Amino acid sequence: MAVLNGRCFAPVLLLALLAAPVWADAPNWQGLSPAQKTVLAPLAGNWDSLPTQERERLLDVAARYPKLVPEQQARVRERLGQWAALRPEQQERLRENYRRFRDMPPEQRQQIIERFREHRQQMRGSGNGPGNGMGNGPGNGPGNGMGGGMGNGPYGPRNGQSGQ
């Protein structure tokens, strides 16, 4: 087949154009819209160094943000701020904990969620826990700053879930 006649070239070009979004990197900070920058402001300082997959996930969060109720928006802002304040090794530990949690059988995940909820209620009831309910949940050791929201990742609720 000769590429010169255009018959072979057109399907290849079409496939390349359709696959382009798969190859495209998430934009750098300067390429974000003002609305995206507003939501993702806590991450401005290290946005360009984040892995592409993480930036894409955060762009999804920014896209869902306007549709969230005010309480969910506040939770997203709070968690993004907490995430940005963590040291890189703490972030990596949380990513690993989340991967392990995500890969568990559903029954085991549910047991962990229930234990976490019980622990959180005990902490709130005793007055020893933090006022925001972000205690050290299962798999989240002391001092990492990111407890609650098992199953929601470090950025807040997914798909309109409240995370509770």
Confidence at residue 146, expressed as pLDDT on a 0 to 100 scale: 39
Measured over the CA atoms of residue 140, residue 144, residue 149 and residue 153, the dihedral's sign is negative
Residues in the chain with pLDDT < 50? 1-4, 6, 12-15, 17, 19-23, 131-154, 156-164
Distance from CA of residue 15 to its chain's centroid? 30
Residue 48 has which token pair?
Answer: 């360009």
> What predicted TM-score, i.e. pTM, was given to this entire model?
0.57
Confidence at residue 61, expressed as pLDDT on a 0 to 100 scale: 94
Confidence at residue 138, expressed as pLDDT on a 0 to 100 scale: 40
Confidence at residue 113, expressed as pLDDT on a 0 to 100 scale: 92
Q: How far is 67 from 60, CA to CA, in rounded Å?
A: 12
Q: How far is 101 from 109, CA to CA, in rounded Å?
A: 7
Confidence at residue 132, expressed as pLDDT on a 0 to 100 scale: 44
